[in-house]
Structure 1
Amino acid sequence: MIQYRISAFDPKSHYIKVNLTINEPMQPEQKLRLPNWIPGSYLIRDFAKHITSINITSQSGQSIEVNTIDKSNWSFSSDEAVTIEYFVYAWDLSVRGSHFDESHAFFNGTSVFLEVIGQSNQACKVAIEPSEISQQNGWKVATGMPKKDIDANGFGLYQADNYHALIDYPVEMGTFTEIEFKACGIPHKMVITGVFECDEQRLKQDLVKICETEINLFGQPAPVEDYLFQVMVTGSDYGGLEHRNSTALICSRDDLPYVGMEEATDGYLQFLELCSHEYFHTWNVKRIQPKVYQDSDLQTPVYTNQLWWFEGITSYYDGLILQRAGLVDNKSYLNILAKQMTRVYRMPGRFKQSVSESSWLTWTKFYQQDENAPNAIISYYSKGSLIALGLDLTIRIETKGQKSLDDVLLYLWEHFGKSQTGLVDGQIEDICSEVSGIDLTDFFADYLFGTKDIPFTELFAEFGIDFNLRTQSGLDDLGGDTNDNAADTSLPNHLGANVSNTVQGTLKITHVWNNQPAYEAGLTAGDEVIALNGLKISTKAQLETLLKRHDNTKALTCHYFRRDELRKTSLMLEPPLKDRVALKELTINREKLSWLL
């Protein structure tokens, strides 16, 4: 058995201390390594760069030399048991790494637990030890790792079946708020860390509905004995990462429900979608998996074009689950769906890159996006969710409602997820045709491997829903229902760029769309616009007013800074594109609309 001891050592230096005991090192040489990436987040992150001060001592007290093989691999030689002591710098406030200060400590196993090569299949015993900071502040521990012998606050002994299980149980330590509930009889808990106010009862009730809806979709019993939501609250962050019986989430405090809130805010619905999305991964990713991910040692990138299914289908269902759970009505759901679709229709890169290619190149193009990303790539999350939607509608239409995407999902769960049999590229597309009884070869050729837009006008019409592309009603218009009958004329001009306010009182360009006004004027991402036609412009609100009032037959004189250089250009505005999606129920046909009702 491999044994680890870990503690939040020093909040000022942000060091987490780890001791690793190996009773029988491999002969003649024992190798150690740390993952270079974390499952569910496809970017080489080089976690080993945060390790300092590796020291190895033999059972007899002798110091053992450490050999550095490369950036994340080490070796040593010893014919007796050894203890390895090292420190991890934990200052990554995200769901992917580790973070430690006076308020809490959070870590993923990929950041802190060295793998003992050749002994990875052994059980791993982990002692999470209290430290001075944890004792002074009455910290508790929250983790999905199986418990062996812990105290009332959760400190003590845990055990994982093997190394790959070990790194799939993130740990939160602190004075968090706990929300406990049962879903289909299974204990669930949400722990929330940070400064916030929250209607805990409402959040609890909504989480029960989401979790029970998903459990019942896949069928009882659920594949977990308990489940943990670990939530970090900040001013403006957003994200999540799935694990085998837990998820790590980060959100804005404004996204949480507040006492007295009658109608769910957009931020709260976004948070519920995030919870729905990551919980859905309990089945679709953690158990229904690509084979290449199952075989990976987490050292180098692995490639698949299947992420359209694993993230795209999950992104489709995360909002649909809210509707099925009764948390939003049809109109609200269609509005959520329209905003999701708008994220695709605003991206000219959808005609440059297929979703299959987006998945294959996730390690570089998707996870390392630059300012030109909207022009060059598409997201397998957002466009993948549209493929899921188009696939669902197509199957329902062609089978006259006898089959749906649910049937494909459940087939994969029964035949692959329950046994955790890995899927190879191309297999899911074949299964979609097999389960539905429809030849979907052309569908996938056009929309998964090709770059065509899915014919949603015709597909939605079959269900009495109007699919409409409209112009933007304002700079912050994300699509959906504007509740504005004059939406097509409310913003008669557009810049062809995304902008943001800066603390310096300038307007910074963040993205420029090719072949649109800002592009033609020579403006680019990073430029700071300071004046238009000789008048200072420093906010998005001022720009929006100008876009509404300016005669687009006349050029604007634009002064701007590029780096610290003042420049001038001529800017011709143009009528806005129709790239915001709006969905509206026209007729109610309960049989055809069964996917919504």
Structure 2
Amino acid sequence: MTRTTTHKALRTTATTRATHTTAPITTPQVHYRIELADLHAHLYGVTLNIEQPTADQRVALPVWIAGSYMVREFSKQLISLTARQGNRSVAVQQLDKCSWQIDCAADTPLTLHYQVHAHDNSVRTAWLDTQRGFFNATSLCLRVAGCEDQPHVLALVPHTDLPTWAVATGLTPLTVNPRGFGSYVAADYDELADCPVEMGAFWSGQFTACGVPHRFVVAGATPAFDGERLLRDAQKICEAAIRFWHGNQRANIPYTHYVFMLNAVGEGYGGLEHRNSTALICQRADLPRLSDTPVLTEALKAKVDKPNDGYTTLLGLISHEYFHTWNVKRLRPAEFARYDYTQENYTELLWFFEGFTSYYDDKLLRRAGLIDDAHYLRLLNKTINQVLQTPGRMVHSVAQSSFEAWTKYYRADANTPNLTVSYYTKGALIALCLDLALRQHGVRNHSVSLDDVMRGLWARCQGGPMQEADLLAVLHELTGRSWARDIKAWVHGTRDLPLEDALTAHGVAVHHDPAQLAQRLGLRVSEDHSIQIKQVLSGSAAHAAGFAPGDEWLGVEIGGKTASAWRLKKLDELPLYAGRAKKLTALVSRDRQLLRLSLTLPPVKAQRSWRLAVLDAAKVKAWLD
């Protein structure tokens, strides 16, 4: 195992490589020139050259980005599109919300100019200010009709006032300077759209995983950031994932280099997968920190190196997005064999691609030695309770949830928990049930697991498009029996999964503790000097009382011979004032009108929360290894 880092300059702002030149395979017909036009106005300047346009050439900007299933209308940020052929201006006609027709002649080079406003600090769109630049091509680069499958060149122009800025991207360099500015090439528009670009005075480090070079850049890190530890832990995750998919067949790794782009912010979390890179966001407080103690004993070092909850969450995000390199970027829904950037792309398989990835992200942390069995069970425990505390699981299957992600999961509102279930969390539990059922089933005294299924799918589909039928076929091949009934019940049905029996059979004790007060009442709230009702769960005590999202719960009245009224600031104060009362009156403000709601308090044992623990360490280890 080899690893190299830029630890000699933890605050480094540029790589030290020499100018890189690679000859293009064919002469590209589409060239983009990206300039940092106005940092204070957050404007990119884009010049698009089309060498051989068609008459009345059409161009369009995508309405969504792969991996984020919501129409985001990127064209709303495009400004002042103009066109020229030689010295002649040509007319531009907008055809709809995201496409234009250019009144040009055929086969004469065409040049388009426009600007894009970039002030969305997410992984999905584009950002530009004096501290950092980032973009996905789906936000900046118009698609040229008829040229989508041809090579595309992207030229990144450095800003004269930003000499410390460098570039990180998964694109193939043509001619770039030591800081990474210059020209890159993509085989087609899909590749261009799948390789985001990070620019700035970021921290940069490198490591090798199973012979493949990986780069990790971090924007927004503080002086306490421990870059060495992040590289060391990311390397372990990458090697665990590569071994999972390829074992000793390392020649089959589907990329030659990989880039992690992490943006550390005050508040935020998320990631978006790409073919040989990923864009990530985390809280600065969740980054690993340098120890204040210069010399540590082995025992103290082990304690310091144990990840806290925030850092574990970040490692899980890294693991999740990296696993997507195989599971959704290569092995993918048949509906995504070719993206349609003009509208929603529907599939019922997000429970597999997001859910199964969610199952493996924490499991790979355990296999990489970054968490132990007990820690893994705590993470799994959280997922189980999230699903069991969502009424929508009883009305919406994960297949439906996948198909309607565009309108339900990605456009969540106060009633979302009652309408749908997350294909991430329930999909992960389906993977768990399937994995444990396979291990218990066995074949001819040989253990079979979900690992075998995933690798079998990779081989069957040749790392390409798949359907649910492919999953069923691989399951049948590995076990000799049909799993159609199980998949139909778990994926297309709405009954609870057989989790408890499966876990118990594999050495996990399942305890049922009283649920937290908010869950027993059926409320999701925020507390800041008062109780704000965010969501009311269907069929709950709060639902029966008439609580509604947006209400402010001010206080309670307790009846009886000695009636009393009390002001509430936190939900946990309710038992203090309610005493042994089983019924009370909730005083609620709704649109400044004061309401009195009759609330029947549910018994403590009415709802339970799961708590997992290791019962048989050998069985748990056999499952998680």
Same topology, TM > 0.5: yes
Question: How far off is 1:423 after superposition?
Answer: 1.6
- Deviation for aligned residue 1:548: 6.0
CA distance in 2 between counterparts of 1:207 and 1:364 reads: 34
TM-superposed CA distance for 1:406, in Å, is 0.6
Give the AA of the match of 2:289: Y
CA contact (8 A) 2:472 2:482 kept: no
Question: In terms of mean alpha carbon deviation, does 174-183 or 573-582 score higher?
Answer: 573-582
**Do 2:373 and 2:621's aligned partners in 1 also have CA atoms closer than 8 Å?**
no
Structure 1 contact 304–425 (Cα < 8 Å) conserved: no
Mind listing any 5+ residue stretches in structure 2 that lack a counterpart? 1-28, 292-303, 558-564
1:478 alignment partner in structure 2: none
Q: Which residue number in structure 2 is paired with residue 515 of structure 1?
A: 539
User: 1:291–1:424: 8 Å Cα contact kept in structure 2?
Assistant: yes
SS in 1 for 2:183: strand
Aligned alpha-carbon RMSD (Å): 1.8
Corresponding residue number in structure 1 for 2:92: 66
Aligned pair 1:242/2:276, yes or no?
A: no
The separation in 2 between residues aligned to 1:211 and 1:432, in whole angstroms, is: 27
Paired letter, 2:473: D
1:586 corresponds to which residue? 615
Percent of residue pairs identical: 38
Return the letter of the residue paired with 1:315. S
Alignment counterpart, residue 39 of structure 2, candidates 11, 14, 36:
11
- Residue 376, structure 1, aligned to residue 402, structure 2: no
| Alignment partners' CA distance in 1, 2:602 and 2:421 | 25
Whole-angstrom CA distance in 2 between matches of 1:373 and 1:8: 40
CA distance in 2, matches of 1:388, 1:404: 10
2:174 is matched by which residue type in structure 1?
K
Change (3 A) 1:155 1:165: same
2:152 to 120, 124, 135: 124
SS of the residue 1:431 aligns to? helix
Please name the residue that 1:454 is paired with: 497
Match of 1:101 among 129, 151, 169: 129
Q: 1:50 — aligned with what?
A: 77
Report the more deviating stretch, 566-575 or 344-353: 566-575
| Shift in CA distance, 189/32, structure 1 to aligned 2, threshold 3 Å | same
What is the SS of the residue equivalent to 1:240? strand
Residues 224-239 of structure 1: pairs in structure 2 closer than 5 A: 224-239=255-270
Which residue identity does 1:582 align to in structure 2? R
Higher alpha-carbon deviation: 14-23 or 295-304 = 295-304
Deviation at 1:193, TM superposition (A): 1.1
1:351 and 2:378 correspond: no
| Counterpart mapping for 1:479-518 below 5 A | 494-502=520-528, 505-518=529-542
Distance 1:365 1:560 in 2: 29
Q: How far did residue 132 of structure 1 move?
A: 4.2
Residue 102 of structure 1 contacts residue 133 of structure 1 at CA under 8 Å; is this kept in 2?
no
Please give the alpha-carbon distance, in whole angstroms, between the structure 2 residues aligned to 1:262 and 1:158: 39
Q: Secondary structure at the match of 2:466?
A: coil
Distance 1:472 1:134 in 2: 54
Shift in Å, 1:263: 3.0
Partner of 1:595: 623
Give, in whole Å, the separation in 2 of the partners of 1:377 and 1:76.
Answer: 44
Q: Does 1:413 align with 2:441?
A: no
Relative to structure 1, is the Cα distance of residues 186 and 547 closer, same or farther in structure 2, using a 3 angstrom cutoff? farther
Compared CA separation, residues 21 and 463, structure 1 to 2 (3 A) = same
* Mean Cα deviation higher: 163-172 or 454-463: 454-463
Pick the aligned partner of 2:433 from 390, 393, 408: 390
Going from structure 1 to structure 2, the CA distance change for 1:593 and 1:433 (only over 3 Å counts) comes to farther
Question: Aligned partners of 2:76 and 2:578: how far apart in 1?
Answer: 53
Distance 1:132 1:535 in 2: 64
Residue 20 and residue 474 in structure 1: after superposition, are their counterparts in 2 closer, same or farther (change >3 A)?
same
Residue aligned with 1:212, SS: helix
CA offsets 1:22-64 (integer angstroms, 9 cap, x no match): 111113x2110111111011111111111010010112x1111
The residue aligned with 1:40 is 67
Aligned-residue offset at 1:588: 3.5
Which residue number in structure 1 is paired with residue 337 of structure 2? 294
User: What letter matches 2:616 in structure 1?
Assistant: T
Once the 2 structures are TM-superposed, how far is the Cα of residue 133 of structure 1 from its aligned partner? 4.6
Question: What amino acid is aligned across from residue 320 of structure 2 in structure 1?
Answer: H
Structure 1 residue 177 displacement after superposition: 1.2
The alignment of Structure 1 onto Structure 2 pairs a total of residues equal to 568
Q: Give the aligned residue type for 1:573.
A: L
Runs (5+) with no aligned partner, structure 1: 476-492
Please tell me whether the aligned partners of residues 8 and 133 of structure 1 are also in contact (alpha carbons under 8 angstroms). Answer: no
Range with bigger deviation, 462-471 or 221-230: 462-471
Q: Deviations over 1:270-291 (max 9, x none)?
A: 1100000000001111110112
Deviation at 1:551, TM superposition (A): 3.0
Change in Cα spacing, 1:235 to 1:547, as seen in structure 2 (3 Å) is farther
Per the TM alignment, residue 332 of structure 1 is displaced from its structure 2 partner at its CA by 0.9
Give the C-alpha shift of residue 568 in structure 1. 3.0
DSSP 3-state at the match of 2:482:
coil
Q: For 1:516, give the aligned amino acid.
A: S
Aligned-partner SS, 1:362: coil
| Offset at residue 179 of structure 1 (A) | 2.3
Distance 1:417 1:176, change over 3 A: farther
1:206: which partner in 2? 233
User: Closer, same or farther in 2 for the Cα pair 1:548/1:537, shift >3 Å?
Assistant: closer
Amino acid in structure 2 at the alignment position of 1:160: A
CA distance in 1, matches of 2:217, 2:576: 46
Q: Which residue of the other structure, out of 476, 481, 491, is the alignment partner of 1:438? A: 481
User: Structure 1 CA distance, aligned partners of 2:536 and 2:68?
Assistant: 27
CA distance, structure 2, for counterparts of residue 466 and residue 205 of structure 1: 33
DSSP 3-state at the match of 2:493:
coil
Distance 2:323 2:173 in 1: 25
Question: In structure 2, what is the Cα distance between the partners aligned to 1:337 and 1:102?
Answer: 41
Rounded to whole Å, the distance in 1 between the matches of 2:533 and 2:337 is 42
Residues 351-380 of structure 1: per-residue CA shift (max 9 Å, x gap): 101111111111111111111111121011
| Residue in 1 that maps onto 2:326 | 283
- Label 1:473 to 1:511 Cα distance change in 2 as closer, same or farther (>3 A): closer
Q: Distance in 1 between matches of 2:597 and 2:211?
A: 65
Q: 1:75 aligns with which of 98, 101, 124?
A: 101
SS of match in other structure, 1:37 = coil
Match of 1:185 among 198, 211, 226: 211
For residue 111 of structure 1, what is the aligned residue in structure 2?
139
User: d(CA) in 2 for partners of 1:318 and 1:584?
Assistant: 20
Instruction: Give the TM-score, by structure 2 length.
Output: 0.88
What is the CA deviation profile of residues 482-536 of structure 1, one whole-angstrom value per residue up to 9, with x for unaligned ones?
xxxxxxxxxxx9432011124xx32211111122222222111111222334433
Go from structure 1 to structure 2 and tell me whether the alpha carbon gap of 1:40 and 1:579 turns closer, same or farther (over 3 Å shift).
farther
Q: Is contact 1:313–1:385 with CA below 8 Å preserved after alignment?
A: yes
**Structure 2: how far apart are the matches of 1:236 and 1:580?**
29
Q: Distance in 1 between matches of 2:221 and 2:624?
A: 37
Shift of residue 557 of structure 1?
3.2
Cα separation, 1, equivalents of 2:517 and 2:174: 56
Displacement of 1:437 in angstroms is: 2.6
Measured against aligned partners, the alpha-carbon deviations of 1:108-150 in whole angstroms (never above 9, x if no partner) come to 1110100000011111111100124534xx2111111111111
TM-fit CA distance, 1:401: 5.3
Residue in 1 that maps onto 2:549: 525
What residue number does 2:282 align with? Answer: 251
Residue 172 of structure 1 corresponds to which residue in structure 2?
A: 198
For 1:571 and 1:133, locate their aligned partners in 2 and report how far apart those are by CA, in whole Å. 63
CA drift of 1:549 comes to 6.2
